[in-house]
Amino acid sequence: MTHDVLVIGAGPGGLSVASGLARAGACVQVIDEQPYAGGQIFRASEKSARAGNEIRGWLGEEYSGGLDLIRSAKRQERIDWQFATSVWDIRCEDDHIELGLVHGETASITQARHVVLASGAMERPAPFKGWTLPGVMGIGAAQTLFKDAGLVPENGVVLAGSGPLLYLFANQLLSAGVRPGAILDFAAKWVSAQHLVPLTRVAWHSRTALLKGLKWRSRIARAGIPHLFGVDELEAVGKDEVQGVHYRKGGQSHQFETSLLLVHDGVIPNTHMTVAAGCDHNWLAQQQYWQPGLNDKGQTSQQGLWVVGDCAGIMGAEAAEIQGRIVARNIAGKLGLAIGKAEATQAQKDLAELKKLAALRQFIDLQYPPAKTFATPADDTVICRCEAVTAGEIREIAQLGCQGPNQARAFTRAGMGPCMGRGCGLSVSRLMAEVSGNDIEQVGHYSTRTPLKPVTLSQLASLNDT
């Protein structure tokens, strides 16, 4: 089958754009690394529904609601599903985009006039003393284990960080019968006076979302879990594994004993493929991340390459679905496909709803900024886990005149491990900006070269057979 459009990612954004294009008459292929649809937010929805277990109830109404989106997309006959498949190469040509794919032991090359990237977000790197100890992990990773395998921590787990996912996960644990030992919150307890205007907009346009957040916090308080706001320093302690956590609040040091510390400092767009494709990127100072530069239709600086969902900028699952519908209509127009009257009517509603969600995101970004302690780790803190490079080593080469993260990679091997800089790239740029006194926009980010994911020689050899 020849595909008009290739969609990378089967989360809410990818499912939405694929469904919209299929309804318009396009032939679409959806490619995802996971063995099933849903992305991170709706991960394993179909599997848990088939099993009939209680995990779906623990995870909440929004998680269960994703099943409808998945099933709606699966009913579209014009969508070809390619699961358990990774993208290892992306090349933008004048009249098409070429992708290198690997599935099992077979590598292949495919192309289409239009490619939509819906690869989602990743947790922001949060390096601190002791974060490499066994027993320390990200809340996002812990939630993946929860959704995929029903694994939940024991009572006494300590959660640290800030943002909506911190509160959501604490509530999901409570639903599963797990009682956290403490929540160490880097955010302020109350909204500051300077944030009242955006809060008013949220209260007017997105009252349900605001009440949901208050409900999460209220449940934590009713459960009697120590919820400490304004924490400004964190350290995991232990010899061979984490045994406790030190933290500072109000200039004083405190400690909790725990065998599991889960940390979260927000999420950032997964820009690995847009960087590899040579797209323009913009630095968002408020939330300290890079995002691809898009026009008002959702297209990147590369012809035929589009982006939807959190990899375009963190907006959440609801916004990703809306962006998917918008981009689907725009691509359908490029393909010369007719848009139905219902779709045209929906277009205006989508734009209005996206504006409301943008106001909500503005408030969230102001209330939950990246924690300063993770941006300025101590010199002996490991930054690049793959190559065991410390913050002190990055600062040292920056003081010697290293010009940017790509040169730093050559000097220290930071960013040359299996994750290819996904886990340390932002931290390296921030440290180099700190030493040089330059803005991160001047310092820049890692370049990305293929293969984007590890590929074996036998897989590459299979290209001759495809």
Answer yes or no: do 325 and 402 share one domain: no
**What is the residue whose two structure tokens read 């998945």?**
70
Total number of domains constituting the chain: 3
Asked if residue 297 is part of any domain, the answer here is yes
Whose tokens are 């590598």? That residue is 107
71 and 158 fall within a common domain: no
Residue 97 sits in the same domain as residue 141: no
* Same domain membership, residue 147 and residue 255: yes
- What does the alpha-carbon distance between residue 387 and residue 408 come to, in Å, rounded to a whole number? 13
Tens-digit pLDDT profile for the chain (466 aa)?
579 999 999 999 999 999 999 999 999 999 999 999 999 999 988 888 876 667 888 898 888 889 999 999 999 999 999 999 999 999 999 889 999 999 999 999 999 999 999 999 999 999 999 999 999 999 999 999 999 988 999 999 999 999 999 999 999 999 999 999 999 999 999 888 888 888 887 877 778 888 899 999 999 999 999 999 999 999 999 999 999 999 999 889 999 999 999 999 999 999 999 999 999 999 999 999 999 999 999 999 999 999 999 999 999 999 999 999 999 999 999 999 987 777 777 888 999 999 999 989 999 999 999 999 999 999 999 999 999 999 999 999 999 999 899 999 999 999 999 888 999 999 999 999 999 999 999 999 999 988 998 899 999 998 876 5
Assess if residue 355 is contained within a domain. no
Sequence-distant (6+) residues with CB within 8 A of 305 are 92, 97, 114, 115, 117, 274, 277, 279, 299
Q: Closest Cα partner for 29 from 95, 94, 76, 90? A: 76
Residues in the chain: 466
Check which CATH number belongs to the domain holding 153 and give it.
3.50.50.60
Q: For 415, phi and psi rounded to 5 degrees? A: 90, 5
Q: For residue 398, give its domain range.
A: 376-443
Do both 49 and 170 map to the same domain? no
CATH number of the domain where residue 396 is located: 1.10.10.1100
* Whether residue 231 is found in the same domain as residue 310: no
Domain presence at residue 49: yes
Domain annotation covers residue 275: yes
With contact defined as beta carbons under 8 Å apart, do 43 and 147 qualify?
yes
Question: Which residues make beta-bridge pairs with 79?
Answer: 28
Q: How far, in Å, CA of 295 to CA of 465, rounded?
A: 39
Whether 188 maps to a domain, the answer reads yes
Does 428 share its domain with 313? no
Tokens coding 100: 């290198």
Q: How many CB atoms lie within 10 A of CB 329?
A: 22
CA distance 270 to 421: 12
303 and 387 belong to one structural domain: no
The CA-atom distances, in angstroms, between 53 and each of 44, 56, 150, 277, 445 are 12, 7, 9, 41, 43
Give the chain's radius of gyration (CA, Å): 22
Does residue 158 sit in the same domain as residue 198? yes
